[in-house]
C-alpha cells in the first residue's frame, strides 16, 4: 500500500497520535462552554491537572493556546518591564524563553552551556549574585534530548530568593515533575506532547507562595493574565469559569486524555516512557547512531541522535516519510541537517510503535 494511503505514524516531538477515546471527543457535536455539565468537567480537569503536577495546594489553569501562551501568562502575571530573569540555556528552547521574556521588556541574562550537555550550575549561581526576579529553566530540552537535572539549579534560585519558572512542555505526564516537593514556583506545559491530547491548551501551575506575592499586581495583559482567569473562576465559577470562549470539543478531549493518565497511574506511565525511550536508544545504537545526550541526561520523551557514518539525516527523514509513512523531525538551530529527533511521548511510547520505527530506520538506512 502506498505510504500516503496509510495513517501517518507520528514520531515527531509533538503532536502525537490521539488515543481513540480522545479522538472520539473531537468528533462529537459542539456543546456550550458553560453551564452545569461543562462546570463538572472543568472542575474535574483542574483536579486531574493538580494530580499530574503533584500540586494539591497550588493554582492550576488550563490556558487555551500553545505552550508559549502558558509562558506568556506567567510573564504577564508575575514579571514587569525591567525585571531581571536569569535563563539557563543548553538548547533551542532555553533561548526561546529569553526571546519571549525580552518581548515583555524583561531583562534576561543567558547562562549558556554546550548543546547536548548539562546546565552550567556554577554559571547560574554566579549570575544570581546580582538580584533577579526569577530563574527560568527548560526541564526537558526537546532540541537535544537532554533532561536537565533540577536539584542544584533550584537550590541556587532559592538561595538567591528568585522564583523558579519551569518549561515542562515535553516532560509533563511523561517525566515526573512534582512541583511542590521540588519547590518549583511556576510551570507550564502543552497538551499535544506527553498528555497525548490535541494541541490547543497550555496547563499552567503556580505555587501558593508565588500566587500570594502577586495578589494585587499592576494590570498587564488581560486574557493571558492569570489574575483574569482567577477572577472568572471565583466570580463566574458556577456557570462560566473561563474569561472567553474555549473550544468545548478540545476541552472535553483534554479532559479525556487526563482521565487516561489517571487510569494508567503516574508511576506506570513514567515507567512506560522510560522503557520505550531505552528501547529506542538501544535499537538506534545498534544501528550506529550516536546520541547527543550522555546516558545520565538522556530524555525519556525525546531522542536526538546523529545517523551512522555515511547516512544523511535529511535523506533518512525523507525516506521514512515517503517509504514508510513514519514522521520524525530534524535538528534545530546549529543541529539542523545533522540529527534526527524522535518522540516517545504518550501514544508514541508503545512497543509496537517503537518497533515499527526501528524496522523502518533499518530498512531506510
Q: Which residues pair with 63 in a beta bridge?
A: 202
At 220, the pLDDT band (50, 70, 90 cuts) reads confident
- pLDDT, residue 315, reads 98
Residues counted in the chain: 365
Task: Report residue 55 as a C-alpha cell.
Answer: 500540586
What does the pLDDT look like over 182-217, one tens digit per residue? 999 999 999 999 999 999 999 999 999 999 987 655
pLDDT of 51 > 90? The answer is: yes
Residue 248 has, within 13 A of its CA and on its CB side, a CA count of: 15
| CA–CA gap between residue 129 and residue 308 (Å, rounded) | 44
| CA–CA gap between residue 246 and residue 227 (Å, rounded) | 18
What does the pLDDT look like over 290-337, one tens digit per residue? 999 999 999 999 999 999 999 999 999 999 999 999 999 999 999 999
Tell me the percentage of the chain whose pLDDT exceeds 90: 95
pTM: 0.96
Cis peptide before 15 (omega within 30 of 0): yes
Residue range 21-262, CATH number: 3.40.640.10
Tell me the percentage of the chain whose pLDDT exceeds 70: 97
DSSP secondary structure of 65-129: S-HHHHHHHHHHHH--TT-EEEEEESSHHHHHHHHHHHHTT-EEEEEE--TTS---HHHHHHHTT
- pLDDT, residue 152, reads 98
- pLDDT, residue 2, reads 46
Task: Report residue 339 as a C-alpha cell.
Answer: 540529527
pLDDT of 82 > 70? The answer is: yes
Q: Over the chain, what is the mean pLDDT?
A: 96
Tell me the domain boundaries of the chain: 3-16+265-364, 21-262
Mean pLDDT of 146-175: 98
Neighbours of 249 (CB within 10 A): 18
> Is 285:295 a contact under the CB 8 Å cutoff?
no
- pLDDT, residue 218, reads 63
| CA–CA gap between residue 208 and residue 192 (Å, rounded) | 27
pLDDT of 54 > 50? The answer is: yes
Q: Integer distance in angstroms from the first to the last C-alpha of the chain?
A: 21
- pLDDT, residue 214, reads 77
Mean pLDDT of 260-265: 98
What does the pLDDT look like over 1-42, one tens digit per residue? 344 446 789 999 999 999 999 999 999 999 999 999 999 999
pLDDT of 219 > 80? The answer is: no
- pLDDT, residue 217, reads 54
Residue range 3-16+265-364, CATH number: 3.90.1150.10
| CA–CA gap between residue 128 and residue 204 (Å, rounded) | 25
Amino acid at each position: 500500500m502506498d505510504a500516503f494511503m496509510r495513517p501517518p505514524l507520528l514520531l515527531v516531538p509533538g503532536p502525537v497520535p490521539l488515543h481513540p477515546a480522545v479522538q472520539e471527543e473531537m468528533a462529537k457535536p459542539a456543546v456550550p462552554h458553560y453551564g452545569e455539565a461543562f462546570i463538572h468537567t472543568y472542575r474535574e480537569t483542574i483536579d486531574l491537572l493538580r494530580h499530574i503536577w503533584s500540586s494539591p495546594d497550588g493554582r492550576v489553569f488550563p490556558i487555551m493556546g500553545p505552550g508559549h501562551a502558558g509562558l506568556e501568562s506567567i510573564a504577564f502575571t508575575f514579571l514587569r518591564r525591567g525585571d531581571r530573569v536569569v535563563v539557563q540555556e543548553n538548547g533551542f528552547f532555553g533561548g526561546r524563553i529569553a526571546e519571549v521574556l525580552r518581548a515583555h521588556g524583561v531583562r534576561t541574562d543567558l547562562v549558556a552551556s554546550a548543546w547536548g550537555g548539562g546546565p552550567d550550575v556554577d554559571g547560574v549561581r554566579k549570575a544570581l549574585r546580582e538580584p533577579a526576579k526569577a530563574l527560568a529553566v527548560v526541564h526537558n530540552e526537546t532540541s537535544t534530548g537532554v533532561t536537565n537535572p533540577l536539584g542544584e539549579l533550584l537550590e541556587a534560585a532559592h538561595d538567591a530568593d528568585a522564583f523558579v519558572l519551569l518549561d515542562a512542555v515535553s516532560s509533563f505526564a511523561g517525566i515526573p515533575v512534582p512541583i511542590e516537593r521540588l519547590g518549583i514556583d511556576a510551570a507550564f506545559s502543552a497538551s499535544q506532547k506527553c498528555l497525548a491530547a490535541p494541541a490547543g491548551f497550555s496547563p499552567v501551575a503556580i505555587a501558593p507562595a508565588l500566587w500570594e506575592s502577586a495578589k494585587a499586581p499592576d494590570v498587564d495583559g488581560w486574557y493571558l493574565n492569570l489574575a483574569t482567569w482567577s477572577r472568572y473562576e471565583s466570580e463566574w465559577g458556577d456557570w462560566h469559569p473561563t474569561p472567553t470562549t474555549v473550544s468545548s470539543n478540545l476541552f472535553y478531549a483534554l479532559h479525556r486524555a487526563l482521565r487516561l493518565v489517571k487510569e494508567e497511574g503516574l508511576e506506570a506511565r513514567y515507567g512506560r516512557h522510560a522503557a520505550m525511550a531505552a528501547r529506542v536508544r538501544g535499537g538506534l545504537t545498534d544501528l550506529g547512531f550516536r546520541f547527543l545526550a550522555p546516558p545520565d541526561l538522556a530524555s525519556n520523551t525525546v531522542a536526538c541522535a546523529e545517523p551512522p557514518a555515511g547516512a544523511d539525516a535529511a535523506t533518512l527523514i525523507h525516506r521514512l516519510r515517503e517509504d514508510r509513512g513514519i514522521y520524525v523531525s530534524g535538528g534545530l538551530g546549529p543541529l539542523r541537517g545533522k540529527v534526527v529527533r524522535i518522540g516517545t511521548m504518550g501514544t508514541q511510547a508503545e512497543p509496537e510503535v517503537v518497533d515499527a520505527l526501528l524496522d523502518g530506520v533499518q530498512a531506510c538506512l
